[in-house]
Structure 1
Amino acid sequence: MNEIRIGMIGLGGMARWHIEQFGKVPGVRITALCDVSAEAVQELGDKLGISPEHRYDSYEALIADGEVDGVVSVTPNNTHAAILKGCIAAGKPLFAEKPLTRTFEEAEEVLELYRHNPIPLMINFSYRNGAAFQHARKFIQAGRLGKINHLFVQYLQEWGAPPSNTPYVWRFDEKVTGTGTLGDLGSHMIDLSQYLLGDRISELQAMLKTIVPERSDPLTGQPYDVLVDDFACFNARFNEGAIGVFQTSRNAIGSGNQHEVTLYGDQGTLHISTLNDQQLIWTHPKENGVKETITELIAVPPEEGLNPWQSFRELIRGNTVSEFASLEEGFNNQAVLEAVVRASQSGGIVSVASLSAKPQ
């Protein structure tokens, strides 16, 4: 089959990781670039040998490029909806970063358009890709935990804590990001918990907090008020009855990138963490009726992980690709984020289904 030609929108650090990974996929080549930074476009364009006519400063132009077979979007949240709409209108396959959109209202608009004109699409909730999380999903599907009664999910980082003196960047700007750590890290917690359980959150109660209320502009030093959360917690009920306890923070000193899930079932407890993505911790009763437990460390080979870059190639070729988040799942994720915000504001319990008349 002909070579798959990829256009990249957004050329920051995460985009460069995607470019590196696509470079390992046979039959795929980056052929077009777009960024608001002319310097970034020139640097990467020269490095990748992109012809000048396929270097863009507008995402609309890249999407319209007839020599681009699929689009990879790695941009701040305030452009997610527009790029989704553009690709849907053009019928162009899209590999997009989470969250689906900046706001729930934008997500509703995108869902409506998509249902009328669906396109090949993957939302990159990247922790699904990890070998340990993939093995845990199979472990759960095999029934080894029995009925799952409750779970604890956390995603902790330290880069926003006071000792770091982190300046005011786009992730703290409500007009760009929508919510703070909730949409950034919390969206991963929501997706991974629902993915592992094969179930959806039905209702929740929540609290959001801004621990560092003011940050300085990195160029001028001018102080800016931070209006988004940098800590979020919520308790959630799943459709089939499990209860989840969730917390996420950018102020957890000592936590570089600590995303983990502990599931408590009738037959034992399973723990998965990014701190060791090639291991599960499985605690369960001993056999023969002995009233003691045993803890096993289950090694997971790295090849159990998913390869989203190779899968996007297959999606563009018209092949079926499973295990990655669909637009509908991205919409559901956005609905749960919105429920967290409303529950924090009201102090009550919010039903996810009550947010919209559109089926999820």
Structure 2
Amino acid sequence: MNEVKIGLIGLGGMASWHIQKFGEVAGVRITALCDVNPAALQTESDKLGIADAHRHLSFQALIDDAEVDGVVSVTPNNTHAEILKACILAGKPLFAEKPLTRTYGEAAEVLVLYQQRPIPCMINFSYRNGPAFQYAKQIVQSGKLGRINHLFVQYLQEWGAPPSNTPFVWRFDERITGTGTLGDLGSHMIDLAQYVTGDDITELQAMLATIIPQRPDPGTGEPRSVHVDDFACFNARFASGAIGVFQTSRNAVGSGNQHDISIYGDLGTLHASTLNDGELIWIHPKEGEPGTVTETVTVQETGRLNPWRSFAGLLKGEPAPEFATLEEGFRNQAVLEAVVRASQSGSVVSVASLLSVSMD
């Protein structure tokens, strides 16, 4: 395969970023686009010089397009499962945004189909790409932290807080999104914690809350009820015995996009954050004397993963071990479901009990 031909489904805000990044990968060309909005489809297709025959209003038409080697899906959560199934049935490789699906039930159906007819697939948990998070993973793998005892993970945004006057958008509609900040930001927290530590969450207890229960309809201004969470927190036990404390909110005034992880081991502590993903704070004992040393380590941009280049490589048969597989996407969805059930029941919920239902 001399040239990799990409078809992109969904032309919302994230699409422009994917278009830009694929444009930086040698030997890759976007050959087809899909969106339900004809005006957006025409505008973006004109920019990229996409022929009329490869401008699609339905995702199935794009997946079936012979000029598409691999599909990139950037759509709301309620379409994830159907696009995954269509790609699996067509044998078309897929690079999809998280979460895997809108609900756990949908994820289980996708997993069963995938196990029967596997395809090359990457689920985009984008914070794996950051240099500081990558370096944190390397330190943990090296053993320099010793045994991991506990960790703290948070993902805070402010766009839903009262000063922002945010109207009722699709991320507040349970029919489209499934859960609120849990599935949106919480899925990133879960993935990053398990990825950096190399450890799996096995059980948890949780609380979900809807801090702002009504938001104005963007068209009419009339109040609409919000039935999804805009705050979530949970305590989790990992397979190693380590404990994780997690919180996420859309109502954190002053936090534009703050995703932090702190890992506490027998031999030191690591702090990494999106606030400066080129730096890692590493606290460790002084050599041969009491006390600790706090190092601020500058991490080079060359340490950043490139999922666009890796997806192109995957289409050529090259492995992409640093990126989430469909199975990992399902495990992430199982943890999200465990959070929901733990919040509803007020009890500890086992993740293994959710994995065994569909993985047997």
Instruction: Give the C-alpha shift of residue 39 in structure 1.
Output: 0.8
Aligned partner letter, 1:306 = L
Deviations 1:120-155 (CA, angstroms, capped at 9, x unpaired): 100000000111111111111000100000000000
1:103 counterpart = 2:103: yes
Provide the C-alpha distance between the structure 2 equivalents of 1:294 and 1:29, rounded to a whole number of angstroms.
48
Provide the C-alpha distance between the structure 2 equivalents of 1:98 and 1:81, rounded to a whole number of angstroms.
11
Deviations 1:76-124 (CA, angstroms, capped at 9, x unpaired): 0000000000000000000000000000000000000000100010000
Provide the C-alpha distance between the structure 2 equivalents of 1:118 and 1:349, rounded to a whole number of angstroms.
33
Provide the C-alpha distance between the structure 2 equivalents of 1:221 and 1:56, rounded to a whole number of angstroms.
33
Provide the C-alpha distance between the structure 2 equivalents of 1:200 and 1:321, rounded to a whole number of angstroms.
20
Counterpart of 2:67 in structure 1 is 67
Equivalent position SS for 1:219: coil
Counterpart of 1:299 in structure 2 is 298
CA contact (8 A) 2:146 2:267 kept: yes
Provide the C-alpha distance between the structure 2 equivalents of 1:271 and 1:113, rounded to a whole number of angstroms.
39
Instruction: Give the C-alpha shift of residue 354 in structure 1.
Output: 1.3
Which consecutive unaligned segments of at least 5 residues does structure 2 have? none
Deviations 1:233-260 (CA, angstroms, capped at 9, x unpaired): 0000001100000000000000000001
How many residue pairs are counted as aligned between the two chains?
359
Provide the C-alpha distance between the structure 1 equivalents of 2:250 and 2:40, rounded to a whole number of angstroms.
28
Aligned partner letter, 1:325 = A
CA contact (8 A) 2:111 2:358 kept: no
Counterpart of 2:342 in structure 1 is 343
Provide the C-alpha distance between the structure 2 equivalents of 1:23 and 1:67, rounded to a whole number of angstroms.
17
Deviations 1:61-87 (CA, angstroms, capped at 9, x unpaired): 100111100000000000000000000
Instruction: Give the C-alpha shift of residue 321 in structure 1.
Output: 1.4
Equivalent position SS for 1:275: helix
Aligned partner letter, 1:83 = I
Instruction: Give the C-alpha shift of residue 318 in structure 1.
Output: 1.1
Deviations 1:178-202 (CA, angstroms, capped at 9, x unpaired): 0000000000000000001111100
Q: What TM-score results when the alignment is normalised by the length of structure 1? A: 0.99
Deviations 1:9-58 (CA, angstroms, capped at 9, x unpaired): 00011011000000000100111010111111000000000001100110
Provide the C-alpha distance between the structure 1 equivalents of 2:75 and 2:313, rounded to a whole number of angstroms.
23
Aligned partner letter, 1:294 = V
Instruction: Give the C-alpha shift of residue 291 in structure 1.
Output: 2.4
Counterpart of 1:198 in structure 2 is 198
Provide the C-alpha distance between the structure 1 equivalents of 2:93 and 2:134, rounded to a whole number of angstroms.
25
What is the alpha-carbon root mean square deviation over aligned residues? 0.8
Spell out structure 1 runs of 4+ moving beyond 2 A.
Answer: 355-360
Counterpart of 2:357 in structure 1 is 357
1:78 counterpart = 2:100: no
CA contact (8 A) 2:85 2:110 kept: yes
1:45 counterpart = 2:49: no
Provide the C-alpha distance between the structure 1 equivalents of 2:273 and 2:226, rounded to a whole number of angstroms.
30
Equivalent position SS for 1:337: helix
Instruction: Give the C-alpha shift of residue 220 in structure 1.
Output: 1.4
Provide the C-alpha distance between the structure 2 equivalents of 1:329 and 1:205, rounded to a whole number of angstroms.
21
Aligned partner letter, 2:327 = E
Provide the C-alpha distance between the structure 2 equivalents of 1:30 and 1:217, rounded to a whole number of angstroms.
36
* Identical counterparts, % of pairs: 71
Provide the C-alpha distance between the structure 1 equivalents of 2:150 and 2:359, rounded to a whole number of angstroms.
26
Counterpart of 1:19 in structure 2 is 19
Q: Map residues 244-323 of structure 1 onto 2, 5 A cutoff.
A: 244-288=244-288, 290-323=289-322
Deviations 1:189-228 (CA, angstroms, capped at 9, x unpaired): 0000000111110000000000000011112112110000
Counterpart of 1:92 in structure 2 is 92
Provide the C-alpha distance between the structure 1 equivalents of 2:287 and 2:323, rounded to a whole number of angstroms.
37
Aligned partner letter, 1:27 = G
Instruction: Give the C-alpha shift of residue 319 in structure 1.
Output: 1.1
1:228 counterpart = 2:225: no
1:333 counterpart = 2:327: no
Counterpart of 1:242 in structure 2 is 242
Provide the C-alpha distance between the structure 2 equivalents of 1:282 and 1:135, rounded to a whole number of angstroms.
11
Aligned partner letter, 2:353 = S
Aligned partner letter, 1:169 = V
Aligned partner letter, 1:353 = A
